[in-house]
A and B are shown apart, each in its own frame.
Chain A
Amino acid sequence: DQQVKQNSPSLSVQEGRISILNCDYTNSMFDYFLWYKKYPAEGPTFLISISSIKDKNEDGRFTVFLNKSAKHLSLHIVPSQPGDSAVYFCAASARSGGSNYKLTFGKGTLLTVNP
């Protein structure tokens, strides 16, 4: 039972355009969401997060949007750069549910930004 779903295994965009990566979740106890980025042969690195009390968090070129009613979040990268090419993992945790340290990850989306 996948509690965090990334339904697009891959996404290809042109340099300078917007990249939109999507993530859906099923567990209504999740109240904190994160995106991790992973380059080949490296471990995942934290990118950006959002608490369920917000609907948007922005950090430079990266913005995460959260739609709690739809149990959906998205990561926007504007403008996209070739160095953004990586696997992006969506992750969630239930901070108020006693298991606040456990991250549940999606399967990841491979983003390719073409020059």
Chain B
Amino acid sequence: GAGVSQSPRYKVTKRGQDVALRCDPISGHVSLYWYRQALGQGPEFLTYFNYEAQQDKSGLPNDRFSAERPEGSISTLTIQRTEQRDSAMYRCASSPTRDRAGGELFFGEGSRLTVL
């Protein structure tokens, strides 16, 4: 497709389980971002890649969260030992240039995670 694709769109899991959320950015986009959006809030930065290199992971809440982009295209955000507070919409965005300074990010539809 032409846009940023995320899967699964919806994920319900039990507390303590691991989840993996996938992002397929727009073809050729260099930069890829993960954001998390709680209900009634704006998106909150988690981490960011240029090509396959993770440039900044300062927004990841704790060490249960990790992300990778091994071939500089598809990215996976993994949450280990999920907790109820991890429930949120996880949004991926991509950008055609590196370090697109506050510029236009193309967001996917998001993956809604519910932890029971």
Binding site for B on A (CB under 8 A): 4, 32-34, 36, 41-46, 49, 89, 91-93, 95, 99-108
Q: What A residues does B103 contact at CB under 8 A?
A: 32, 34, 49
Q: What A residues does B45 contact at CB under 8 A?
A: 102-104
In the complex, how many angstroms separate the beta carbon of A100 from the nearest chain B beta carbon? 4
Contact residues of A: prevailing secondary structure: strand
**Residue total for B at the interface (Cβ-Cβ under 8 A):** 27
In the complex, how many angstroms separate the beta carbon of B33 from the nearest chain A beta carbon? 7
Are A43 and B101 CB-contacts (below 8 A) given A101-B55, A107-B41, A107-B42?
no
A45, A99, A101, A107 pick with most chain B CB within 10 angstroms: A101
In the complex, how many angstroms separate the beta carbon of B113 from the nearest chain A beta carbon? 15
Among A4, A33, A41, A95, the residue within 8 A (CB) of B42 is A4
In the complex, how many angstroms separate the beta carbon of A86 from the nearest chain B beta carbon? 13
* Residues B45-69 near A (CB distance < 8 A): 45, 48, 55-56, 59
